[in-house]
C-alpha cells in the first residue's frame, strides 16, 4: 500500500499523518461533548489540546528516538521526519500528561475531572492511530502461516506480507483492544464515583492489553533484556491501582468523619 495519500503540488501527504490528524480531530470533538456533559467549561478543551497535542508528539518522538538512537545518530535530520513513523505512545502519554498537568495547574482546574473527560478521547485516538502503523507496516508481530492470516480480510493479508513472510497483525489486536476499552470507559463513566476513576481505569486497562500484545511484536523498544513497553505497562498498572485504592480510602475516611460529626 502506498504510504502517500495524495500530493499538494510537489509535497507528499502521507497516510500516517492523515490518520493521526483524523484521530486528533475525532478525539477533540468527543472531549468537547464529554466536557459539556460533565458541566466543565468546554472552552478549555481547545486550549488543553493546544498544549497537549504538540507535547504528545514531541514526547512520543523523543521517546522513540532515544531508544533507537543508533538509527538516528548519523542522520539527525531524520529525527524530524515524523511522517515516516516512529512515535512511541508511552512517550506521547508522558508528554501529554505533563502538558495537561501544567495547564490545569496554571488555570486552577481539577486535574482528575479533566483526566476523566480526556481519557476516552485518548484511547479512541489510539485505536484509530494504530492504522497508521498498518500503512507503514509497523507494529506487527511474529511470523504466521498462510492458513492463519487467511482468516483476516484480504487488505490486511496483503499488508502483513513483508519480505516474503506473513506476520501477526499486532496493530489490529491493539486497535481492537483500545476500541473495547473506549466502549467500556463510555459506559463506566456513568457509574464512576471518584474523580480520576475513568482516567485510572484507562491507564490500567490500556496497559494490560499493551503488555500482552507487546509480547508478540518484533519491533519492540528494548530496555536491556526487557521490552520497554512491558516494563512501563507494569509500572502504570501498579500506579493506577495504587492511586485508585488511595482515592477510595480517602473517600471512605471523609465519610467516616462526616458520620462522626
- pLDDT tens for 146-178 read 999 999 999 999 999 999 999 999 999 999 999
Evaluate whether 90 touches 117 at the Cβ level (below 8 Å).
no
Helix or strand or coil: residue 152?
A: coil
pLDDT at residue 83 greater than cutoff 90: no
pTM of the predicted model as reported, rounded to 2 decimal places: 0.90
pLDDT at residue 84 greater than cutoff 70: no
pLDDT at residue 192 greater than cutoff 70: yes
d(CA 188, CA 197): 9
- What is the pLDDT averaged over residues 27-37? 94
Instruction: Specify the pLDDT at position 261.
Output: 66
Q: Which domain holds residue 164?
A: 4-260
pLDDT at residue 187 greater than cutoff 80: yes
% of the chain with per-residue pLDDT over 70:
98
- What is the pLDDT averaged over residues 134-157? 94
pLDDT at residue 112 greater than cutoff 90: yes
Parallel, antiparallel, or unpaired for β 11-14 and 161-162? unpaired
Element (H, E) at 79: none
d(CA 170, CA 255): 46
Predicted confidence band of residue 226 (pLDDT cuts 50, 70, 90): very high
Q: Could you give the number of structural domains in the chain? A: 1
Amino acid at each position: 500500500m502506498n504510504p502517500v495519500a495524495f500530493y499538494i503540488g510537489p509535497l507528499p501527504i502521507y497516510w500516517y499523518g492523515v490518520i493521526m490528524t483524523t484521530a486528533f480531530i475525532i478525539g477533540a470533538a468527543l472531549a468537547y461533548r464529554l466536557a459539556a456533559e460533565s458541566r466543565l467549561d468546554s472552552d478549555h478543551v481547545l486550549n488543553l489540546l493546544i498544549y497537549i497535542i504538540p507535547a504528545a508528539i514531541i514526547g512520543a518522538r523523543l521517546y522513540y528516538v532515544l531508544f533507537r538512537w543508533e538509527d538516528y545518530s548519523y542522520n539527525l535530520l531524520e529525527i524530524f521526519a515524523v511522517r515516516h513513523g516512529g512515535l512511541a505512545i508511552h512517550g506521547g502519554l508522558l508528554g501529554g500528561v505533563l502538558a495537561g498537568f501544567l495547564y490545569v495547574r496554571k488555570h486552577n482546574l481539577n486535574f482528575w475531572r479533566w483526566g476523566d473527560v480526556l481519557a476516552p478521547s485518548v484511547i479512541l485516538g489510539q485505536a484509530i492511530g494504530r492504522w497508521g502503523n498498518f500503512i507503514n507496516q509497523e507494529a506487527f508481530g511474529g511470523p504466521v502461516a498462510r492458513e492463519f492470516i487467511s482468516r483476516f480480510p484480504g487488505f490486511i493479508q496483503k499488508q502483513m506480507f513483508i519480505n516474503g513472510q506473513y506476520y501477526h497483525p499486532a496493530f489490529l489486536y491493539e486497535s481492537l483492544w483500545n476500541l473495547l476499552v473506549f466502549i467500556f470507559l463510555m459506559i463506566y463513566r456513568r457509574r464512576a464515583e471518584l474523580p480520576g476513576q475513568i482516567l485510572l481505569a484507562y491507564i490500567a486497562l490500556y496497559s494490560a492489553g499493551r503488555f500482552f500484545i507487546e509480547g508478540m511484536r518484533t519491533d519492540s523498544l528494548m530496555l536491556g533484556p526487557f521490552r520497554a513497553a512491558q516494563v512501563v505497562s507494569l509500572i502504570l498498572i501498579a500506579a493506577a491501582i495504587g492511586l485508585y485504592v488511595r482515592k477510595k480510602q480517602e473517600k471512605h475516611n471523609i465519610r467516616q468523619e462526616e458520620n462522626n460529626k
